[in-house]
Amino acid sequence: MRIRHIEVFNAIYSIGSVSGAARYLNITQPTASKVLKNAEHYLGYLLFIRVDGKLIPTPEAEILYKKTAEINSQLIELRQLSENLKKTGTGKIKIAAIPAIGLEFLPRAMQAYQQLHADVQFEIQLYQSQDVVKALFAHEKDIGIIFAGESYPGTTQSKLTQGQCVCVCAQDIFSDKVTVTMADIANQKIISMENSGPLEHIFHHELANEALANNSANITAQTYLVAKNLAALGSGVAVMDEFSARTTSYGAVSIKPVVPPLHYQVIAVTLEQTSLSVDAERFVRFLAKFLEEQTIAAQSSIDCA
């Protein structure tokens, strides 16, 4: 079968009519009918029969559909990729970011950058780390902002800033401590993270190194902001990056440095074989300076009460 045969066949099979398939594919009904007849002639057997005015797939069509459905899905993805590639160079900087950076600090950086370069447009979307990289490979976004940890072949990674993990808790917890140890944290209910990323791996690795049990609170949060809100309500303690700890949340919390220090890096990820626009490259440099300044400010303003 040819590509056009597969597209029309799958559309008719899924929708149940030639007219509906034609509308879906944005072609005329006579064209869809002609492609179907050509496909049947090419194959040498019928794909559909009409019963009481309805198109019914033949046994051969049922078998073919199981094989061609995946091919058709790949064709749709290829078409979308082609459209995304056509849209590159529009003057818009398209960014995929993890919530830790994308909820508050990335928007601040974008606003500050636009004050210097008013003609630059931004597009931002938040994902989990693995989906940030998927968006790059689908050419949906130009730049990914994630925590360093995993290696992604075919990408280039550049450091934006380095920070230190902190413990976020209700204000009556650790009120007599300037810093908290892993043993201190292990004695509390710990709020875990869904789809554990690099920071969560660092934290649990250190717990294991010190042979400390993970005293889970049976609460798992999807983002660090949710974990911070839960900590503010007294549901447990959470270990996170300084950016998430400083993101506006439900209520007041206490933020304590963790000792020994658990360090992390925020990085920008781009595709190896794709060149960024001048504006995009300039913004990455601007963002690195902006986040570095925010990291220094965070470390100097952490609650030491």
Q: For residue 195, what pLDDT is reported?
A: 67
Instruction: Residue 269: name the closest of 91, 97, 100 by CA.
Output: 97
Indicate if 103 and 249 belong to the same structural domain. Answer: no
pLDDT over 70, % of the chain: 91
Q: For residue 142, what pLDDT is reported?
A: 92
- On the question of pLDDT at 86 being above 70, the answer is no
- Residue 148 · residue 157 · CB < 8 Å: yes
* CATH code assigned at 39: 1.10.10.10
Indicate if 183 and 224 belong to the same structural domain. Answer: yes
Indicate if 99 and 247 belong to the same structural domain. Answer: no
- On the question of pLDDT at 271 being above 80, the answer is yes
Q: Which two tokens stand for residue 242?
A: 């300084």
Which of 34, 69, 86 is where one domain is finished? 86
Which of 44, 69, 86 is where one domain is finished? 86
Q: For residue 213, what pLDDT is reported?
A: 63
Q: For residue 200, what pLDDT is reported?
A: 82
DSSP secondary structure of 138-191: TTS-SEEEEES-S--TTEEEEEEEEEE-EEEE-TTSSTT-SSEEHHHHHTS-EE
- Residue 237 · residue 231 · CB < 8 Å: yes
Instruction: Residue 132: name the closest of 104, 161, 93, 99 by CA.
Output: 99
* pLDDT band of 52, cuts 50, 70, 90: confident
Tracing tokens 């990729």 back to the chain, one arrives at: 81
Indicate if 78 and 110 belong to the same structural domain. Answer: no
Indicate if 10 and 124 belong to the same structural domain. Answer: no
* CATH code assigned at 122: 3.40.190.10
Q: Range of 57's domain? A: 3-86
**Out of 9-18, 96-105, 206-215, 230-239, least confident range:** 206-215
Which of 42, 70, 86 is where one domain is finished? 86
Tracing tokens 């058709």 back to the chain, one arrives at: 72
All residues at 6 or more sequence positions from 55 whose CB lies less than 8 Å from its CB, including other chains: 12, 16, 17, 18, 48, 49
Indicate if 16 and 37 belong to the same structural domain. Answer: yes
Indicate if 133 and 188 belong to the same structural domain. Answer: no
Q: How far apart are CA 117 and CA 236, in angstroms?
A: 43
Instruction: Residue 295: name the closest of 241, 224, 238, 225 by CA.
Output: 241
- On the question of pLDDT at 174 being above 50, the answer is yes
Indicate if 180 and 252 belong to the same structural domain. Answer: yes
Indicate if 152 and 270 belong to the same structural domain. Answer: yes
* pLDDT band of 304, cuts 50, 70, 90: very low
Instruction: Residue 145: name the closest of 122, 115, 167 by CA.
Output: 122
Burial of 117 (0-12, 13-18, 19+ CB in 10 A): exposed
Domain tally, the chain: 3
pTM given for the model: 0.67
Indicate if 16 and 60 belong to the same structural domain. Answer: yes
Q: Which of 65-69, 80-84, 249-253, 265-269 has the highest mean pLDDT?
A: 265-269
- The rounded mean pLDDT for the chain is 87
- On the question of pLDDT at 300 being above 80, the answer is no
Indicate if 74 and 186 belong to the same structural domain. Answer: no
Indicate if 277 and 249 belong to the same structural domain. Answer: no
Which residue spans within 37-142 are E strands per DSSP?
48-51, 54-57, 92-97, 121-126
